[in-house]
Amino acid sequence: MRKIFKIILAVFAVIIILFVSVAAVIFLDVAAYTATRSQTLSPTGTSVGKALVIYDPGLSGNVKTVASQIASDLQTSNYTVTLAGIKSSAAKDTSGYSIIVVGGPVYGGALTGSVKDNLKNLTPENGAKVGIFGSGQGATTPDDVAMIKQSMPANTELSNSVVVKIGEKEDLTTRAQDLVNQLLP
């Protein structure tokens, strides 16, 4: 009987350790610290402006796919695009950009801490358009977008931002192009 009790206790301890580990990864946003790279995408024609796309990759990496699609769509629209991980040096300097897009995963209806911090410190130049996207499971509902807006920091410079959620199962190409279309002049 004692042996069974010890086994049950050990299994219970392992489950608690796993649960705490997974919670720490999600709530401490460990994945954001891996996003330290950036790249520049040049348009095929004459550049009409500069765009910055900042992303927190999240646990699944889906956000980087969304950010890459948005960057590609902006490049196709003749923007010189900097695609930057949220912890890269390129993500910190927003001067000279006419379009800035920031995105990350949505956990529990809210953006991650790294995305909130980035938005809180974001200082777009006058006239710059800002897009914010969250990526999560399931199709997008109006409640999803409202929850993302509620999780954003109170920053008057972001009050006119375009905010969308792009579900992992939705048509990424169409949803990314919709966001880009809303940002283009």
Q: Which among 75, 35, 61, 36 has a CA at the least distance from the CA of 176?
A: 75
| pLDDT tens sequence for the chain (185 residues) | 788 878 888 888 888 888 776 655 555 555 565 666 889 999 989 999 999 999 998 877 789 999 999 999 999 999 999 999 998 999 999 999 999 999 998 887 788 888 888 988 888 888 899 999 988 876 677 777 888 888 777 765 677 788 888 888 888 899 999 999 999 98
The answer to whether residue 7 is domain-embedded is no
Distance CA 162, CA 70 (A): 13
Q: Which domain holds residue 47?
A: 31-183
The answer to whether residue 63 is domain-embedded is yes
The answer to whether residue 10 is domain-embedded is no
Distance CA 15, CA 174 (A): 41
| Number of domains comprising the chain | 1
∠ CA(56), CA(95), CA(131), 5° rounding? 45
CATH number of the domain enclosing 135: 3.40.50.360
CA dihedral 160, 154, 33, 146 (to 10 degrees): -60
